[in-house]
């Protein structure tokens, strides 16, 4: 076989509680920021389709796990909903939720599928947001208590934990660019949110390691390689700053237990450093992960700014760089994101050369398609474009592994078409299509391709 993957490679897909569970305000679950935001602005992004309209995994978990099995998954990532497990954010545990998650984990094991469980996928409980969200140290402590509760309740069934999915996204969306609740645009507050998220991460990692229960804990980062327009020093510097702010401010603490010195110097120079406590340094040092999840969708194309920013304008990352449309780059015509398969290889190479080749896996990669309707006469979506997308990325992944990268698996985003943060069902990503009205599930052509690829542990 031309592209054979290592033995025991993790073939699976990723999803999240808030995008699939449904039953958003039922069975004891309290509201998250998504429920609140949708109630306040139902048509701003979601065309009136809110987070309660999902594939309803809460009811269909058994059927969906049977489908995962049919697609030859040996691993599956989803998340626990904090607002479902501990509806008041701290304190009393919702026993309905315990029963639900235990059933899910047991069924996954029964089908030979290892659960990879994430603790936070953008879904801040509203009660915690009202107490300041990630701007509050009190919420950091509450998250650590929630993480501990999960380890205690589910630690015998779950051995692969993740503290956060894409912690930079709530920072960008909620505090810089106004596409997530609470719609703030303020770099200083964004920096505090980013910093506190990594403190929360470190508390959870430390607590998990102290348990010594034979499992492992990691974090999932969306790494976006920042490619400069040219080797001209100004462009290179601009790309480095984008890399520091959007990648290394999470990657370095997670893999090295400390922030990059250049990042600290930059924020100090512009008086944007968040407030620190004396004990933070040691805490961050204990947040080094056992396993890194890498979400990769598209790179950043960066150039230095053509014109100086007015120094009196509010501080923003874009003071230092601009994104540009690289001529000739390949775009996903259905989603508007760039497709650059080599990015996956470049990420692995960077990790190998600069971060001591950590244990890692691709925790998300996928192709969103707007208005996906290429049905055949049997109602199956003929998504050859998605097969090309996945196989082209897997080829570069294979090259990285053959050169020594410690990459243990590939998870597709996602298993079934799901509700999404800023566009509901506009872009569909699943291996399985969902008819939202009837809840009918139909495996797409790409799902069949993946089933075979996973069974053969590779492809030609
Ligand atoms: C990642 C998130 C996922 C998912 C995916 C696709 O950033 O972890 O939750 O939504 O992106 O993005 P979108 O649904 O916006 O197209």
pLDDT of residue 3: 98
CA 420 to centroid of ligand 1, rounded, Å: 7
Please tell me if the CB atom of residue 427 comes closer than 6 angstroms to any atom of ligand 1. Answer: yes
Please tell me if the CB atom of residue 252 comes closer than 6 angstroms to any atom of ligand 1. Answer: no
Which of left, alpha, beta for 243 (phi over 0: left; psi -120 to 50: alpha)?
alpha
- Interval 339-394: pLDDT, tens: 999 999 999 999 999 999 999 999 999 999 998 999 999 999 999 999 999 999 99
CA distance 408 to 405: 9
pLDDT of residue 44: 87
pLDDT of residue 47: 83
Q: Could you tell me the mean pLDDT of each successive run of 10 residues in the chain, 460 residues long?
A: 98 98 98 96 88 97 98 98 99 98 99 99 98 98 98 98 98 97 97 98 98 98 98 98 98 98 98 97 98 98 94 94 96 92 98 98 97 94 98 98 98 98 95 97 98 98
216 is annotated as an active-site residue: no
**376 burial type by CB count under 10 A (0-12 exposed, 13-18 middle, 19+ buried):** exposed
Please tell me if the CB atom of residue 15 comes closer than 6 angstroms to any atom of ligand 1. Answer: no
CA distance 438 to 286: 48
- Interval 217-259: pLDDT, tens: 999 999 999 999 999 999 999 999 999 999 999 999 999 999 9
pLDDT of residue 398: 98
Per-residue burial over 178-212, b = 16 or more CB atoms within 10 Å of its CB, e = otherwise: eebbbeeeebbbbbbbbbbbbbbbbbbbbbbbeee
In contact, 318 and 309? CB cutoff 8 Å: yes
CA 386 to centroid of ligand 1, rounded, Å: 16
What is the per-residue DSSP string for 66-104? Answer: HHHHHTT-SEEEEE--HHHHSTTSSS---HHHHHHHHHH
- In the chain the domains, ranked by start, together with CATH numbers, are 3-459 (3.20.20.80)
In contact, 341 and 349? CB cutoff 8 Å: no
pLDDT of residue 460: 96
Among 51, 177, 364, name the best residue to mutate to test ligand 1's pocket (greatest count of ligand atoms within 8 A of Cβ).
Answer: 364
CA distance 80 to 59: 15
CA 309 to centroid of ligand 1, rounded, Å: 31
> Which residue matches tokens 């990669």?
365
CA distance 254 to 165: 13
Please tell me if the CB atom of residue 16 comes closer than 6 angstroms to any atom of ligand 1. Answer: yes
Complex prediction ipTM: 0.98
Please tell me if the CB atom of residue 78 comes closer than 6 angstroms to any atom of ligand 1. Answer: no
In contact, 288 and 256? CB cutoff 8 Å: yes
Ligand 1 atom index nearest CA of 169: 7
Please tell me if the CB atom of residue 10 comes closer than 6 angstroms to any atom of ligand 1. Answer: no
In contact, 197 and 167? CB cutoff 8 Å: yes
pTM: 0.98
> Which residue matches tokens 């150039």?
303
């Amino acid at each position: 076989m031309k592209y054979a993957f290592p033995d025991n490679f993790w073939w699976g897909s990723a999803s999240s509680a808030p995008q699939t569970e449904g039953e958003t305000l039922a069975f004891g679950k309290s509201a998250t920021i998504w429920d609140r935001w949708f109630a306040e602005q139902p048509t701003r992004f979601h065309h009136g389709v809110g987070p309660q309209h999902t594939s309803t995994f809460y009811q269909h978990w058994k059927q969906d796990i049977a489908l995962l099995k049919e697609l030859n998954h040996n691993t599956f990532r989803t998340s626990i909903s904090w607002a479902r497990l501990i509806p008041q954010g701290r304190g009393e545990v919702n026993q309905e939720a315990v029963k639900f998650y235990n059933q899910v984990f047991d069924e996954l094991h029964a089908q030979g599928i290892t659960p990879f469980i994430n603790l936070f996928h953008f879904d801040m409980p509203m009660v915690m947001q009202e107490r300041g969200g990630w701007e509050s140290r009190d919420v950091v402590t509450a998250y650590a208590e929630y993480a501990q509760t999960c380890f205690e309740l589910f630690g015998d069934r779950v051995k692969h934990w993740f503290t956060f999915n894409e912690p930079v996204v709530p920072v960008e969306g909620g505090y810089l660019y106004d596409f997530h609740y609470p719609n703030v645009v303020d770099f200083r507050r964004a920096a505090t949110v980013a910093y506190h998220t990594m403190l929360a991460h470190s508390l959870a990692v430390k607590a998990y390691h102290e348990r010594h229960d034979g499992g492992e804990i990691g974090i999932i980062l969306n790494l976006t390689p920042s490619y400069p327009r040219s080797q001209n020093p100004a462009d290179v510097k601009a790309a480095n700053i984008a890399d520091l702010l959007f990648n290394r401010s999470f990657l370095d603490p997670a893999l090295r237990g400390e922030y990059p010195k250049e990042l600290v110097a930059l924020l100090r120079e512009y008086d944007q450093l968040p407030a620190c406590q004396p004990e933070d340094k040691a805490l961050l040092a204990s947040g080094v992960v056992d396993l890194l999840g890498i979400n990769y969708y598209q790179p950043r194309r960066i150039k230095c700014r053509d014109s100086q920013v007015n120094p009196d304008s509010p501080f923003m990352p874009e003071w230092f760089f601009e994104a540009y449309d690289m001529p000739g780059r390949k775009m996903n015509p259905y989603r508007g994101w760039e497709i650059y398969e080599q990015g996956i290889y470049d990420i692995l190479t960077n990790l190998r050369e600069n971060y001591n080749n950590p244990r890692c896996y691709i925790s998300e990669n996928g192709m969103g398609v707007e208005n996906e309707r290429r049905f055949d006469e049997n109602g199956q979506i003929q998504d050859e474009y998605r097969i090309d997308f996945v196989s082209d990325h897997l080829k570069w992944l294979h090259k990285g592994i053959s050169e020594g990268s410690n990459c243990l698996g590939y998870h597709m985003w996602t298993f079934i078409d799901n509700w999404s943060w800023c566009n509901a069902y506009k872009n569909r990503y699943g291996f399985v299509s969902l008819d939202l009205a009837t809840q009918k599930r139909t495996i797409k052509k790409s799902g069949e391709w993946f089933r075979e690829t996973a069974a053969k542990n590779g492809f030609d």
